[in-house]
Amino acid sequence: MNFIRKIVQSHSEEEIELYNELKKVLNFSPRDIKIYRKAFTHRSIQLLDSKGIPINYERLEFLGDSILGSVISSYLFKKVPKGSEGYLTKMRSKIVSREHLNELGKDLNLIRFVKSNINKSNIGDNIHGNIFESLIGAIYLDKGYNFCQKFVYENVIIPYVDIEKLEGKITSYKGLIIEWCQKQKKRYSFDIYEDSGNESVRHFSVKISIDSEVIAKGRSTSKKKAEEQASKRAYFAFQDQITNS
């Protein structure tokens, strides 16, 4: 009760609301709510501390990424004692893929905590994974590694990590296509072509050619996404050959 009274006396209504909502997400009481406020502050706010250092989630995202990787690596090391270094690295990459982190951020609805001068619908999907990582960084600074580990187990490993399913999961169709082309000594290229769309948000159109033949096309709000979309379509066009190679 004394701790809660201290929170009420020394924090704004906004921080008290954040404190109460985060308790439900974290399953523990945050100690320093200002760290978590920083974890959800977008760079567009352009806040600076007394030393002129930007106040936003990006440094916490960097820290959280490292902590998350550490927890997942430790779990896989113990869970798969016969796994080689390459196997463990590939499995970790699948668990902490940008796509998966975005899903985790969405599942926890972390976007509701974000302060930004940009409309949230225009920030891009990666904001969900970015703030998931920054939240882990904030937990580490506020409560330490053990609390981070518990949070990752409860929100990532227990509900989502299935080793057998992950073994067959494709995290990058582009990487798979490139690897297959190199293995089969096929020439490939990803080319941006003119986009005639009229949307207010810029789109990229990409075509993938294999041995000078256009195999598939993709279109999205970033070059990377368009390449991945085209690669996925190319994969299904060559699925039998790739699977049996």
Task: Write out the two tokens for 2.
Answer: 């004394």
Distances (CA, A) of 51 to 47, 48, 145: 11, 8, 28
Q: In 10 A of CB 82, how many CB atoms?
A: 5
Q: In 10 A of CB 120, how many CB atoms?
A: 12
Could you tell me which residues come within 8 angstroms of residue 136 by beta carbon, excluding any fewer than 6 positions away?
Answer: 63, 64, 67, 68, 148, 151, 152
211 carries an active-site annotation: no
Give dist(CA 35, CA 135) in Å, integer: 9
Whose CA is closest to 205, among 237, 229, 173, 241?
A: 229
**C-beta of residue 188 within 8 angstroms of C-beta of residue 177:** yes
Backbone angles phi, psi at 80, to 5 degrees: -125, 75
199 carries an active-site annotation: no
Strands 213-220 and 204-210: antiparallel
Q: Which of 65, 142, 227, 228 is catalytic?
A: 65
Q: Which of 32, 125, 133, 167 is catalytic?
A: 133
Active-site residue numbers?
Answer: 65, 133
